[in-house]
């Protein structure tokens, strides 16, 4: 399948694996790229630029296909060494970067001078238009269904994607609620040039996370996520567990006076404990509503092959048959 996204990133299938904290290691990124998609290493999971450089080398040893790196720009008391991470990306010969969080404008010249294509994650049309204006090459449009940070507008993809298609001139992929061939065909129909999957890729053989994480996603339905940190305007969609229930109770009790410090126990340093140690109730961790569509743990190759076969079948047979009826 050829789209603007496959052409831009030099990949076979219009499927991107989103950056995920303590999930996007070389093993998963390489598996996605080898299967014809665009695998993504999560940059800030690596503690230093040198660690990222080592992870890029590990991924290069596992695949000769294109892969990318996610860099999330967030406010922090001690800002990560973003110039160092960017230099590691450039020196490693990576040609795709997924940016997220704050405006990446000041980092674009260095990346693009090195021939790196930048795809920025947005949760609203206004932010997407700004990203287009500053020179991003492509966009990942995240609907309200997505795991992680869905923004504050609460617009689901059935509205957000066609709105983006009406306004944007650069290509974009759909993110949030993407799981199978039906997702891909729907995304294409709504104006996207492909799809980005996060939660679905966690439940794969190659995802380097604890087996309990994969089983928790399989056991979950579309009703089992919760939105936390809404009062702080840092909304995150997470899988419900006892820590999330405690966090929500704090939000109810403290109301508008809540501060980040009040919920540190439920959100700080959670990902290593969940993803590595399998301590499932230690805190809040991102998971999309798409969990309700995930029922197995295939290899990445089997998953992508299945998605593409299903998408082709829908387009050629089901939809084509309607036209020929």
Question: Which CATH number is 50's domain given?
Answer: 3.20.20.70
Find out whether 195 and 157 touch, Cβ atoms under 8 Å.
no
Residues 150, 18: Cα–Cα separation, whole Å: 14
pLDDT tier, 12 (very low <50, low <70, confident <90, very high otherwise): very high
Question: Is 97 a member of any domain?
Answer: yes
Is residue 276 included in any domain, yes or no? no
Q: How many CB atoms lie within 10 A of CB 47?
A: 9
Residue 104 resides in a domain: yes
- pLDDT tier, 285 (very low <50, low <70, confident <90, very high otherwise): very high
Q: Looking at the domain assignment, is residue 59 inside a domain?
A: yes
Residue numbers of the domain that contains 28: 4-208
Structural domain includes residue 80: yes
Q: In the chain, which ranges are E strands?
A: 15-17, 39-42, 67-73, 96-101, 117-122, 138-142, 172-175, 195-197, 225-228, 236-239
Confidence (pTM): 0.97
Task: Look at strands 195-197 and 117-122 and give their pairing.
Answer: unpaired
Q: Assess whether pLDDT exceeds 70 at residue 325.
A: no
Domain count, the chain: 1
Residues 104 and 227: their CA atoms lie apart, in Å, by 26
pLDDT tens for each residue of 81-95: 999 999 999 999 999
Residue 307 falls within a domain, yes or no? Answer: no
227 in a structural domain: no
Q: Is residue 56 part of a domain?
A: yes
Q: Is the pLDDT of residue 292 over 90?
A: yes
Phi, psi of 202 (to 5 degrees): -65, -35
Q: Once rounded to an integer, what is the mean pLDDT over residues 221-250?
A: 97
């Amino acid at each position: 399948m050829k789209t603007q996204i496959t052409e831009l990133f030099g990949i076979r299938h219009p499927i991107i694996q989103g950056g995920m904290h303590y999930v996007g290691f070389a093993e998963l990124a390489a598996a996605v790229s080898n299967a014809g998609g665009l695998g993504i290493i999560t940059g800030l999971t690596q503690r230093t630029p040198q660690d990222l450089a080592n992870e890029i080398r590990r991924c290069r040893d596992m695949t000769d296909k294109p892969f990318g790196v996610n860099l999330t720009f967030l406010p922090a008391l001690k800002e990560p060494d973003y110039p160092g991470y960017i230099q590691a990306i450039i020196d490693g010969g990576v040609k795709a970067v997924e940016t997220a969080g704050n405006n990446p404008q000041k980092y674009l010249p260095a990346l693009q001078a090195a021939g790196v294509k930048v795809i920025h994650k947005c949760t609203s049309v206004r932010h997407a238009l700004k990203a287009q204006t500053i020179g991003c090459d492509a966009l990942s449009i995240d609907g309200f269904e997505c795991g992680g940070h869905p923004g504050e507008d609460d617009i689901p993809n059935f509205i957000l994607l066609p709105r983006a298609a009406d306004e944007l001139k650069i290509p974009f992929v759909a993110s949030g609620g993407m799981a199978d061939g039906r997702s891909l065909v729907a995304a294409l129909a709504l104006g996207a040039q492909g799809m980005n999957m996060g939660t679905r890729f966690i439940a794969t053989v190659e995802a380097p996370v604890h087996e309990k994480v994969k089983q928790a996603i399989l056991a979950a339905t579309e009703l089992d996520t919760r939105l936390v940190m809404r009062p702080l305007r840092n909304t995150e969609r997470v899988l419900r567990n006892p820590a999330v229930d405690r966090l929500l109770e704090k939000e109810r009790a403290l109301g508008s006076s809540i501060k980040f410090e009040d919920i540190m126990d439920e959100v700080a340093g959670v990902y290593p404990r969940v993803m590595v140690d399998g301590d499932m109730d230690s805190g809040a961790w991102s998971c999309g509503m798409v969990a309700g569509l995930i029922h197995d743990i295939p290899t990445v190759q089997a998953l992508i092959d299945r998605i593409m076969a299903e998408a082709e079948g829908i387009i050629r047979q089901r939809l084509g048959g309607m036209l020929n009826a």
